[in-house]
């Protein structure tokens, strides 16, 4: 029987952009190394960690589709971009002696494991960080939706969504000084307010499975540990 570690099992959603550093494209190694160090510190808090990673730093399927590319093909290319990011993060983690498994939603046997729920749980139980890539394996779904789906499947107690700002605002705080921050809001209010930080499918899955979502800035030093200890400015959807 698979054990439940809901109180200590955490799903971390990383955007592809979080790997860019100060650049506008691609993977900045120093930034990836810093994220890896933060993840290792969180693992030492006796947690079990699953990471779902995006691919927007390399390719965005929705943008390519808007320029005339077939939507399904564009989304598959975006999924492959998440695999590249997953491998980069795995490399950084294993360089600091942290066992990691990259799992893809579709088979790429020579590069990484195919995602199997029970195997992912076993990896986490053995103190390995699991990095889930390739979204859901299907076009038309965002990696935020994939994060909510994996959190539900893997019996995670919370979703940490690392962003470029310290929570949810009614408008872009980088552009508007009078932007209002939401410290805590319900799933229903999030949908009714038509907020765009995460798509509605991800919110619905989290709501139906009673998984709170905490959003915070990845720019904060030791952000994952501080979030785990509830010592970091953030917004919560629950």
* pLDDT at position 225 over 90: yes
Q: At what angle do helices 71-95 and 29-43 cross, to 10 degrees?
A: 70
The tokens for 16 are: 């592809």
pLDDT class of 3 with cuts at 50, 70, 90: very low
* pLDDT at position 66 over 80: yes
* pLDDT at position 199 over 70: yes
**pLDDT above 90 covers what percent of the chain?**
89
Q: Following DSSP, what letter does each residue of 60-86 receive, concatenated?
A: -HHHHHHTTS-HHHHHHHHHHHHHHHH
Q: What sections of the chain are H helices per DSSP?
A: 29-43, 61-66, 71-95, 117-125, 143-153, 187-192, 200-208, 223-228
pLDDT of residue 7: 66
Q: Which long-range contacts (CB under 8 A, 24 or more apart) does 145-150 make?
A: 145/199, 145/201, 145/202, 145/205, 146/52, 146/105, 147/11, 147/13, 147/52, 147/202, 148/201, 148/202, 148/203, 148/205, 148/206, 148/209, 148/211, 149/205, 150/11, 150/50, 150/52, 150/120
pLDDT of residue 2: 45
The tokens for 48 are: 């079990």
pLDDT of residue 69: 93
Radius of gyration of the chain measured on its C-alpha atoms: 17
**204 burial type by CB count under 10 A (0-12 exposed, 13-18 middle, 19+ buried):** middle
pLDDT of residue 174: 86
Domains in the chain: boundaries? 9-237
Compute how many other C-beta atoms are within 10 angstroms of the C-beta atom of residue 72.
Answer: 13
| Max Cα distance, the chain (Å) | 52
CATH node for 9-237:
3.40.1160.10
**132-149 in b/e burial notation, b at 16+ Cβ within 10 A?**
bbbbbbebebbbbbbbbb
Rounded average pLDDT over 207-218: 97
pLDDT class of 60 with cuts at 50, 70, 90: confident
Q: pTM for the complete prediction?
A: 0.94
* pLDDT at position 1 over 60: no
Q: How far apart are CA 113 and CA 136, in angstroms?
A: 14
pLDDT of residue 61: 82
Rounded average pLDDT over 109-114: 96
pLDDT of residue 6: 64
Rounded average pLDDT over 138-148: 97
């Amino acid at each position: 029987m698979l054990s439940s570690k809901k109180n200590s099992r955490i799903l971390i959603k990383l955007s592809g952009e979080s790997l860019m550093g100060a650049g506008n494209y691609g993977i900045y190694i120093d930034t990836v190394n810093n994220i890896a160090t933060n993840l290792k510190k969180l693992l030492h808090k006796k947690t079990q960690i699953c990471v779902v990673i995006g691919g927007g730093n390399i390719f965005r399927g929705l943008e390519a589709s808007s320029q005339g590319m077939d939507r399904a093909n564009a989304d598959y290319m975006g999924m492959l971009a998440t695999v590249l990011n997953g491998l980069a993060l795995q490399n950084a983690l294993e360089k600091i002696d942290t066992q990691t498994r990259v799992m893809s939603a579709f088979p790429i046997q020579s590069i990484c494991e195919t995602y199997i729920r029970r195997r992912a749980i076993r990896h986490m139980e053995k103190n390995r960080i699991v990095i889930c890539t390739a979204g859901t394996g299907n076009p038309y779904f965002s990696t935020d939706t994939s994060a909510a789906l994996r959190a539900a499947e893997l019996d995670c107690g919370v979703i940490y969504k690392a962003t470029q700002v310290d929570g949810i605002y009614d408008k872009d705080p980088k552009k508007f000084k009078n932007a209002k921050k939401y410290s805590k809001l319900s799933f229903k209010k999030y949908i009714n307010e038509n907020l765009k930080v995460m798509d509605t499918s991800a919110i619905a899955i989290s709501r139906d499975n009673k998984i709170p979502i905490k959003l915070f800035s990845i720019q904060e030093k030791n952000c994952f540990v501080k979030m785990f200890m509830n010592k970091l400015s953030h917004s919560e959807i629950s």
